[in-house]
Chains A and B, each alone.
Chain A
Amino acid sequence: MEHLEVLKTYKIYIGGNFPRTESGRFYKVYDSEKELLANACLCSRKDVRDAVKIARGAFGGWKSRSAYNRGQILYRIAEMMESRRAEFESQLSKIGFTSAEATADVNASIDRLIYYAGWTDKYQQIFGSVNPVASAHFNFSLLDPTGVVGIFAPEASPLLGLVSLVAPVIAGGNTCVALASEAYPLPAIIFAEVLNSSDVPGGVVNILTGKKEELAEHFSAHKDVNAMIYTDNLSNEMKKMIDENASTSVKRIVKKLVNDWYEDDTQSPYFITDFQETKTTWHPVGF
């Protein structure tokens, strides 16, 4: 039976919806054989601003969720990813992963989600503190999410790398706007479809596609983005520009150079604490 394949349209993910870029622009995404895979959205400054606004709106609700609930939702993402494994593997194969590599990448991504699902109700116990002040006060420090986080997903690890950054950020109660791997954005969009069917409230994770060269400025200069992370070795000019823009609102910039997302230290609770503020509360003790 003849069947003409129905090609999938890949759009961006903002506020739980899949709009096209507001700019109407696109760029071509190729597979490892240089064959056209899809037309991806070439996002603009306006898309960044829309996504940040939505992420800010989602922040209060998400950080107020119980740690248990956030853990369950992260676990649910892993479940949904498992059920969509074939699509991820097929997509990774098209961009040059061997079949074994594609399977390993999806396995590791699922395990990473479960790893951070388990941390949601534990990091506070490890990294919070009760402080024995010398005066008659009860004093404790809790971690509180930093806010809206900008994520530059690693270029060469379009699925595992992205998951490795999004998971700790949202496990800690932040919301985020992630820019997908520029050359290989499609796994990120499939991941968005997984998120959308995983009880993650709309706006908690927003995923854009486009060019770092163009959007780095708009991420770093946006005053309502509280923190950013990147793990690729960006050009010195871009690093400096990001830092300089960050200084206008005392934005936290987290730089971690990662080459291999299978290394042990690419998952740790310190990826969560990088996006936490310590809040210390005092109360008098007395009758």
Chain B
Amino acid sequence: MSQTTETKETPYKPTSPNSKLDFASVWEYAPAPESSDHVEIKDQYQLFIDGKFVKPSKGRYFKSTNPATTEVITEFAEATQNDVDKAVKAARKAFKGEWSSLAPKTRGKYLYRIARMLQERSREFSVLESMDGGKPIRESRDVDVPLAAAHFFYYAGWADKLDYAFPGKTPEPLGVCGQIIPWNFPLLMLAWKIAPALACGNTVVLKPAETTSLTALKFAELVKDAGVPAGVINIVTGAGQTGAEIVNHKDIDKIAFTGSTGVGKLIQKSLAGTDKKFTLELGGKGALIVFEDAPIDQAVEGIINAIFFNQGHVCCAGSRLLVQEGVADLVTQKLKDRMETLIVGDPLDKNTDIGAINSSQQFETINSYLEIGVDEGADVYQSKCSIPENGYFIRPTLLANVAQSNRVVQEEIFGPVLTVQTFRTADEAIDKANNTPFGLAGGVWTDKGSKIFKVGAGLRSGVVWANTYNKFDPTSPFGGYKESGVGREGGLHGLSAYVKLK
């Protein structure tokens, strides 16, 4: 880790006599970087429309940087109105023609092919994902890419079984789907969008996030290799304006968006008065409720995973710890000790726990929330680990002494920042957990089964992780209540987003 620099702060001193975990000053790991030699990155990427890589009509490109080094790694084409229109026309043509004429099982077999090819090229995709987006290679290798492949594998099998999914009704595809995905799980979100859409017989125009378009374009190469008919999958790159062209295009039947609640509301507003269907998977402010009777060490591991997984760039991140008073000091101390062991650094290093913040913009957003926290009177605790000199990195952070009404408690920070509150009764915990406009996910830690069901039933959120957190599976529906979104992705329920019922 040659890029790291020692912090000037006093080395962390464990305050609990049992805490010996002072990694930053005592233990050192030899770097174990994943090689990127076998990965080919072109200097420039084009749009993928109608089965071909085409130059953008206005000839404009934008650069993409590696957030861990701030070095430019490639540039992407900026799709403008004309390009989006071409993509939609290609998707419409494919929908009316070849794609709809295929037997459902053949549609499924294309998805199986994609799944297999992703598995075959998983190492390449993992490395690219970490280089382009800053996430630790351990996560892209063990979570993002395998889950993306699994998602295609799962929905492939639905293609010829849809009649069993909707009792009493006949499902039909919607048509052309416009899909806009975020930068936190670029390939996985692509899989969540494309796999069910295609399984149900739709065609798609997908826009990846402007900071993380690389794996989507590699995926386009794979789509070509798999022989998927032209126009079924179109990938257009660009920023918000390109997304708006998709949302407002007259010949799109459905919009699927994953991203911030702010943008989600704008999209819902843009679609007002139209007959376009939409599903939204938006922000969250997940509560982690830890009861006195919880297995404390397991809970601490769960909390670490809940908030520091993927640098906290997770819509369902557990970003609010609610801990019962009797164990608050114990849990907080163990949490701080555990935070000291987290390694922040090179995303390609297999030792790294927390990689780079995805972009300079997000880096500034998180830091501004830390300032807001201080202004609101929070006690800030950050681990003492060293962080690289270049790139966007933020140490794991706790904000204690916060109030329910504080902005750092109410608003999504989307970074490695956890607020800490306490509670006395289960009802109080449920009230606090539900007291935000969001409703995406929540966690409960207790050894008492009946309490899990009671608290779980009280949480107004689409996912409840009990004695675990941030687990995902293609068979498991995901999505929010309230301002965390509309509709579900994944599982049987995820099919509803891509069919009309007759």
- Residues of A whose CB lies within 8 Å of any CB of B are 64, 126, 129, 131-135, 137, 139, 141, 144, 146-147, 226, 236, 239-244, 246-250, 252, 268-270, 277-284
Contact (A131, B150) CB under 8 Å given A240-B273, A277-B462, A281-B456: no
A141 close to B477 (CB less than 8 A): yes
Chain A residues near B462 (CB-CB < 8 A): 277-280
B89 CB-CB contact with A under 8 Å: no
B482 close to A247 (CB less than 8 A): no
B477 close to A250 (CB less than 8 A): no
Chain A residues near B265 (CB-CB < 8 A): 247-248, 250
Chain A residues near B477 (CB-CB < 8 A): 129, 131, 141, 278, 280
B448 CB-CB contact with A under 8 Å: no
Of all chain A residues, the one with the shortest Cβ separation from B270 is A247
A243 to chain B, nearest CB (A): 3
What mask results when residues 472 to 502 of chain B are scored 1 for a CB within 8 Å of chain A, else 0? 0101111101111110100111000000010
Of all chain A residues, the one with the shortest Cβ separation from B496 is A273
A279 to chain B, nearest CB (A): 6
B42 CB-CB contact with A under 8 Å: no
Selected from B167, B271, B459, B482, the residue in CB contact (under 8 A) with A226 is B482
Contact (A135, B473) CB under 8 Å given A239-B273, A281-B456, A281-B466: yes
B473 close to A134 (CB less than 8 A): yes
Give the B interface residue count (CB, 8 A). Answer: 48
Chain B residues near A249 (CB-CB < 8 A): 437, 482-483
The answer for the CA separation of A265 and B473 in the assembled complex, in Å, is 34
The answer for the CA separation of A240 and B481 in the assembled complex, in Å, is 23
Chain A residues near B484 (CB-CB < 8 A): 250
Chain B residues near A247 (CB-CB < 8 A): 265-266, 268-269, 272
Chain A residues near B468 (CB-CB < 8 A): 137, 282-284
Chain A residues near B475 (CB-CB < 8 A): 131-134, 139
A131, A134, A250 — most chain B CB neighbours (10 Å):
A250
Listed by A's residue number, 10 A-B pairs whose Cβ atoms lie within 8 Å are A126-B167, A129-B492, A131-B476, A133-B473, A141-B477, A243-B272, A247-B269, A248-B269, A279-B461, A284-B467
B463 CB-CB contact with A under 8 Å: yes
The answer for the CA separation of A243 and B271 in the assembled complex, in Å, is 8
Majority DSSP secondary structure for residues of A touching B: mixed
B452 CB-CB contact with A under 8 Å: yes
B49 CB-CB contact with A under 8 Å: no
Of all chain B residues, the one with the shortest Cβ separation from A60 is B458
A86 to chain B, nearest CB (A): 35
A69 to chain B, nearest CB (A): 16
The answer for the CA separation of A240 and B272 in the assembled complex, in Å, is 5
B339 CB-CB contact with A under 8 Å: no
A139, A144, A241, A277 — most chain B CB neighbours (10 Å):
A277
B501 close to A270 (CB less than 8 A): yes
Of all chain B residues, the one with the shortest Cβ separation from A237 is B273
Of all chain B residues, the one with the shortest Cβ separation from A131 is B475
A132, A269, A281 — most chain B CB neighbours (10 Å):
A281
B493 close to A129 (CB less than 8 A): yes
A108 to chain B, nearest CB (A): 20
Counting from the closest, the 9 A-B pairs by CB-CB distance are A240-B273, A243-B272, A247-B268, A133-B473, A247-B269, A244-B272, A131-B475, A281-B464, A283-B466
Chain A residues near B460 (CB-CB < 8 A): 144, 147
The answer for the CA separation of A249 and B484 in the assembled complex, in Å, is 10
A282 close to B471 (CB less than 8 A): yes
Chain B residues near A278 (CB-CB < 8 A): 462, 477, 479, 488, 493
Of all chain A residues, the one with the shortest Cβ separation from B494 is A278
B205 CB-CB contact with A under 8 Å: no
Selected from A137, A250, A268, A277, the residue in CB contact (under 8 A) with B168 is A268
Of all chain A residues, the one with the shortest Cβ separation from B464 is A281
Chain B residues near A281 (CB-CB < 8 A): 456, 463-466
Of all chain A residues, the one with the shortest Cβ separation from B168 is A268
A280 close to B272 (CB less than 8 A): no
B109 to chain A, nearest CB (A): 22
What mask results when residues 440 to 470 of chain B are scored 1 for a CB within 8 Å of chain A, else 0? 0000000000001000110111111111100
Chain A residues near B491 (CB-CB < 8 A): 129, 131, 141, 280
Apart from A131-B492, A283-B452: 10 A-B pairs, beta carbons within 8 A:
A133-B475, A139-B475, A141-B491, A144-B481, A146-B481, A247-B272, A249-B482, A277-B481, A281-B463, A282-B463
B268 close to A243 (CB less than 8 A): yes
Of all chain B residues, the one with the shortest Cβ separation from A245 is B272
Chain A residues near B467 (CB-CB < 8 A): 283-284
A242, A244, A246, A283 — most chain B CB neighbours (10 Å):
A283
A280 close to B464 (CB less than 8 A): yes
A135 close to B268 (CB less than 8 A): no
The answer for the CA separation of A126 and B173 in the assembled complex, in Å, is 22
A133, A147, A268, A280 — most chain B CB neighbours (10 Å):
A280
B422 CB-CB contact with A under 8 Å: no
A100 to chain B, nearest CB (A): 30
B96 CB-CB contact with A under 8 Å: no
B47 CB-CB contact with A under 8 Å: no
The answer for the CA separation of A240 and B269 in the assembled complex, in Å, is 9
What mask results when residues 160 to 200 of chain B are scored 1 for a CB within 8 Å of chain A, else 0? 00000001110000000000000000000000000000000
A154 to chain B, nearest CB (A): 20
A250 close to B269 (CB less than 8 A): no
B464 close to A279 (CB less than 8 A): yes
B493 close to A250 (CB less than 8 A): no
B280 to chain A, nearest CB (A): 7
A131 close to B473 (CB less than 8 A): yes
B286 to chain A, nearest CB (A): 13
A279 close to B486 (CB less than 8 A): no
B264 close to A250 (CB less than 8 A): yes
Contact (A250, B483) CB under 8 Å given A141-B493, A268-B168, A280-B478: yes
